[in-house]
Amino acid sequence: MSAGRDMYRQQILDHYKNPRNYGELDDPTFSHVGENPLCGDEIRVEVKLDEDDETIEYAAFTGDGCAISQASASMLTDELRGLTLKELAALDREDVTDLLGVDVSPMRVKCAVLSEKVAQDGAAIYEGEKEVDVTKTE
């Protein structure tokens, strides 16, 4: 195993054991929940927008799941700060897997992108562009 891959695995474990931005916001602009029914991962993402109603001031998450889903949510909520809702909508699978820094097997990609999809769907619902009860990555 290369030293670089080991470093990223340590980073994933660190974010899993010591998640950043874990918890509920006092007054979120919007929140949304999603799940991966195949493995049981569930994540709620809460977002507080800046006064411009477009820029993400703060993002937090709660939920349960595997190390990949939880680490991904921890890393993503850090990355969301300062992005606009349009920039959030433009994020794709590669953006999230690049944060993790390791190759994610096809079976685990759904775990890795769950928080991204939940945040994107929450923003789309907030903007009136989508109606979804619970985001599912199946």
**What is the spatial order of strands in the sheet that 30-36 belongs to?**
56-64, 41-49, 30-36, 135-136
**pLDDT tens track for 48-84:** 999 999 999 999 999 999 999 999 999 999 999 999 9
Q: Which residue has the tokens 């991904």?
A: 72
**pLDDT higher than 90, residue 19:** yes
In the chain, the amino acid numbered 107 is M
Spell out the domains of the chain, with CATH numbers in brackets.
3-128 (3.90.1010.10)
Q: What pTM was computed for the model?
A: 0.91
Contacts of 115 (CB under 8 A, 6+ apart): 34, 43, 45, 61, 69, 72, 73, 76, 77, 96
